[in-house]
Amino acid sequence: MKKATIIGAGLVGSLWSIFLAKRGYNVSMYERRSDMRKAGYIGGRSINLALSLRGFRGLERAGIADEIKAVALPMYGRMIHDLAGNLAFQPYGKEGEAIYSVSRGGLNIALINLAEKLPNININFDCSCEDVNLQTAELSFLQTAENKAFNLQSDLVFATDGAFSAVRTALQKRPRFNFSQQYENYGYKELVIPAGENNTFLLDKHALHIWPRGHFMLMAMANLDGSFTCTLYLPYEGEHSFENLKTDEQITAFFATYFADAQAMMPTLLADFHENPIGVLTTMKCRPWSFQHKIMLLGDAAHAIVPFYGQGMNAGFEDCVLLDDMMTDFNENWDAIMTEYDRTRPDDTDSIAELALRNFVEMRDKVGDPRFLLRQKIAAWLYQQFPADFTPLYSLVTFSHTPYSVALREGKAQDVLFEQILNLPNIENDWQNETVISVFKTWQSNKG
Ligand code: FAD
DSSP secondary structure string for all residues of 265-323: T-TTHHHHHHHSPPEEEEEEEEE-SEETTTEEE-GGGTEE--GGGS-HHHHHHHHHHHH
- Within 38-195, strands assigned E span 48-51, 73-75, 77-81, 87-91, 99-103, 121-124, 127-133, 138-143, 148-153, 157-159, 178-193
Q: Digits of tens for pLDDT over the chain (448 positions)?
A: 799 999 999 999 999 999 999 999 999 999 999 998 887 766 556 689 999 999 999 999 999 999 999 999 999 999 999 999 999 999 999 999 999 999 999 999 999 999 999 999 999 999 999 999 988 889 999 999 899 999 999 989 999 999 999 999 999 999 999 999 999 999 999 999 999 999 999 999 999 999 999 999 999 999 999 999 999 999 999 999 999 999 999 999 999 999 999 999 999 999 999 999 999 999 999 999 999 999 999 999 999 999 999 999 999 999 999 999 999 999 999 999 999 999 999 999 999 999 999 999 888 888 888 899 999 999 999 999 999 999 999 999 999 999 999 999 999 999 999 999 999 999 999 999 999 999 999 999 998 7
305 within ligand 1 shell (Cβ under 6 A):
no
Q: Is 49 in the pocket of ligand 1 (CB under 6 A)?
A: yes
187 close to ligand 1 (CB < 6 Angstrom):
no
Q: Which atom of ligand 1 is nearest to the CA of 165?
A: 15
Q: Which amino acid is at 177?
A: F
> 52 with 233: CB under 8 angstroms?
no
Strands (DSSP E) along 194-227, which ranges?
Answer: 207-212, 217-222
Q: Which residues pair with 357 in a beta bridge?
A: none
Rounded to whole angstroms, the Cα distance separating 250 from 205 reads: 30
Instruction: Give dist(CA 179, CA 173) in Å, integer.
Output: 10
Name the nearest CA neighbour of 335 among 207, 156, 70, 122. 156
Paired strand residues for 235: 186
399 CA to middle of ligand 1, Å?
22
CB atoms within 10 A of CB 157: 22
As a whole number of angstroms, the distance between CA 209 and CA 205 comes to 9
- Nearest-5° angle of CA 283, CA 285, CA 288? 165
* Contact present, 144 and 270 (Cβ < 8 Å): no
Q: What's the rounded Cα separation, in Å, for the pair 39 and 41?
A: 7
CA of 375 to the centre of ligand 1 (A): 34
| CA atoms in the 13 A half-sphere facing the CB of 148 | 6
Helix 346-364 to helix 404-422 angle (10° resolution) is 40
Can you say whether the dihedral through the CA atoms of 101, 105, 107, 108 is positive or negative?
A: positive
Nearest atom in ligand 1 to the alpha carbon of residue 55 is 25
Measure the CA dihedral 260/373/407/66, to 10°: 60
Ligand 1 atom 26, closest CA = 310
Contact criterion met (CB below 8 Å) for 201 and 222: yes
**Sheet order of strands, 73-75 included:** 48-51, 99-103, 73-75
Omega of the bond prior to 288 within 30 degrees of 0, cis? yes
Side-chain half-sphere exposure of 83, counting CA atoms within 13 A: 7
The reply to whether ligand 1 has any atom less than 6 angstroms from the CB of 61 is: no
- 283 close to ligand 1 (CB < 6 Angstrom): no
